[in-house]
């Protein structure tokens, strides 16, 4: 299949710059994965579409406030760091701007000296390795001085950092939010539990590769980024119980989907597992665990629109997106939601 098979026209004004309040009042386009039929709802209506005995799988990864603004020691030249992943004892892979100033041995200062960094090596794609110096816990320091690494297409400043976290976020490590989960409130989760919907958590730390465009025309030539995940034993048991009882496993977001499908692909079953995955799901993929998906609206020609096309069919997805554009749904991280499943009552 060609990358261009997943293209669609998206007016720039439909890219959501700010989140809807309250969280669960965003709109929700319901797509029956078998018939292609569409319904226009709000996210709080998800209660009506989930059944007793179904299970939601949520990604509890928490976004690291990983964007740092500082200056070069000695010259005062401005510098921006984006922390990507920890490579060792206080050594992180970082994306730097401007990169040519970040040579080995050069030091940078952030947050009036709360954090300093020295470049100690080079990494792939022009990134650098930086060793950080600080007092106490680096995550506490980042909470004080770091900014949320919002995607490049969101240009408005975020007033409340927590609005780019899910209400159930727990384990710090993501470079971007698992945004499908942003629509949930604690009250909505309680309503679902009261209805008999089981709720389990996995952890997949979202990498910046999630925004990396597909550059190859043949999608099978695309190299997926790798991300770290953990499937806890209690969630694995809950998935197996749900399947055995005839319930549906509904993943919240493409990250939860990639986690459960990675475990099933690797082991041939669902059990506790921690590993890295670069699974690439596109049309023709046979889902092993997932029955339905809660997700946002994705970029044209992205690996994420390819994933949802694998679930509901490319033509149904592109038709749904065409309708969403016409009805002025809000797109991307702070945008509206889709629920894709067999919706027959």
User: Domain end: 89, 117, 145, which one?
Assistant: 145
By C-alpha distance, which of 44, 42, 31 is closest to 321? 31
Q: Give the tokens for residue 83.
A: 């922390």
Query: Do residues 314 and 340 touch, judged by C-beta distance below 8 A?
Result: no
Based on the fold, state whether residues 195 and 303 are members of the same structural domain. Answer: yes
Give a yes or no: residue 312 inside a domain.
Answer: yes
Q: Which residues share a beta bridge with 202?
A: 59
The DSSP secondary structure of 230-277, one letter per residue, reads EE-HHHHHHHHHHHHTT--EEEESHHHHHHHHHHHHHHSS---EEEEE
Q: What does DSSP assign to residue 90?
A: T
The verdict on 78 and 197 lying in the same domain is no
Give the C-alpha separation, 53 to 245, whole Å.
8
Q: Which helix (H) or strand (E) holds 83?
A: strand 78-88
Question: Does residue 345 carry a pLDDT above 70?
Answer: no
Same domain, 101 and 178: no
Within this chain, do residues 59 and 170 fall inside the same structural domain, yes or no?
yes
Across 126-145, average pLDDT: 94
Which has more confidence, 338 or 156? 338
Q: Is residue 246 domain-shared with residue 97, that is, in the same domain?
A: no
Q: Render pLDDT for 260-306 as a digit per residue (tens, 0 to 9).
A: 999 999 999 999 999 999 999 999 999 999 999 999 999 999 999 99
In a domain, 235, yes or no: yes
Same domain, 8 and 140: no
Same domain, yes or no: 175 and 74:
no
* pLDDT score for 228: 93
> What is the average pLDDT value for the chain, to the nearest integer?
95
In a domain, 22, yes or no: yes
Mean pLDDT computed over 252-258: 97
Would residue 151 count as lying in a domain? no
Same domain, residue pair 285 and 138:
no
List pLDDT tens digits, range 121-135: 999 888 999 999 999
Q: Is 150 within the bounds of a domain?
A: no
Same domain, 112 and 44: no
pTM, two decimals, is 0.93
> What is the average per-residue pLDDT within 30-39?
97
Same domain, 321 and 336: yes
Number of domains in the chain: 2
In a domain, 137, yes or no: yes
126 and 257 assigned to the same domain: no
Q: Is 24 left (phi over 0), alpha (psi -120 to 50) or beta?
A: alpha
Supply the CATH number for residue 31's domain: 3.40.1780.10
Question: Is pLDDT above 80 for 209?
Answer: no
**pLDDT tens for residues 163-188?**
999 999 999 989 889 999 999 999 99
User: CA nearest 172: which of 200, 198, 149, 199?
Assistant: 149
pLDDT score for 36? 96
Q: How far, in Å, CA of 197 to CA of 191, rounded? A: 9
Domain containing 30 equals: 3-63+161-341
- Residue where one domain finishes, among candidates 96, 117, 145: 145
Kindly report the CATH number assigned to the domain that includes residue 139. 2.40.10.240
Residues 47 and 191 in one domain: yes
76-114 pLDDT, tens per residue? 999 999 998 888 889 999 999 988 889 999 999 999 999
pLDDT at 153 over 90: no
Domain contains 156: no
Q: Is residue 90 part of a domain?
A: yes
């Amino acid at each position: 299949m060609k990358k261009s098979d997943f293209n669609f026209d998206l007016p720039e004004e439909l890219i959501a710059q700010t989140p809807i309040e309250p969280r669960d009042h965003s709109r929700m386009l319901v797509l029956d994965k078998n018939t292609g039929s569409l319904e226009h709802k709000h996210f709080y209506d998800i209660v009506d579409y989930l059944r007793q005995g179904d299970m939601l799988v949520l990604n509890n990864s928490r976004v690291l406030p990983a964007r740092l603004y500082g200056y070069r020691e000695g010259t005062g030249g401005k510098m921006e760091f984006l922390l990507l992943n920890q490579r060792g004892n206080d050594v992180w892979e970082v994306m730097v701007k401007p990169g040519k100033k970040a040579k080995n041995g050069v030091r940078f200062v952030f947050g009036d000296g709360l954090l300093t960094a020295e470049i100690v090596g080079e990494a792939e794609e022009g990134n650098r390795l930086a060793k950080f110096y600080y007092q106490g816990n680096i995550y506490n320091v980042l909470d004080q001085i770091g900014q949320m690494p919002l995607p490049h297409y969101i240009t408005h400043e975020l007033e409340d950092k927590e609005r780019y976290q899910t209400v159930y976020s727990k384990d710090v490590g993501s470079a971007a939010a698992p945004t499908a989960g942003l629509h949930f409130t604690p009250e909505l989760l309680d309503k679902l539990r009261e209805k008999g919907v089981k709720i389990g958590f996995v952890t997949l730390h979202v990498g910046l590769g999630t925004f990396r465009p597909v550059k190859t025309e043949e999608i099978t030539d695309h190299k997926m980024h790798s991300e770290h995940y953990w499937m806890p034993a209690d969630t694995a048991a809950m998935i197996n119980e749900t399947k055995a009882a005839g319930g549906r496993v509904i993943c919240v977001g493409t990250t939860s989907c990639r986690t459960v499908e990675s475990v099933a692909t690797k082991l041939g079953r669902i059990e506790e597992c921690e590993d890295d995955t670069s699974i690439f799901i596109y049309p023709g993929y046979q889902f092993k665990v997932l029955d339905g998906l809660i997700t946002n609206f994705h970029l044209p020609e992205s690996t994420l629109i390819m994933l949802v096309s694998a679930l509901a069919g490319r033509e149904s997805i592109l038709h749904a997106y065409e309708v969403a554009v016409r009805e002025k749904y809000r797109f991307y991280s702070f945008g509206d939601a889709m629920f894709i499943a067999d919706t027959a009552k």
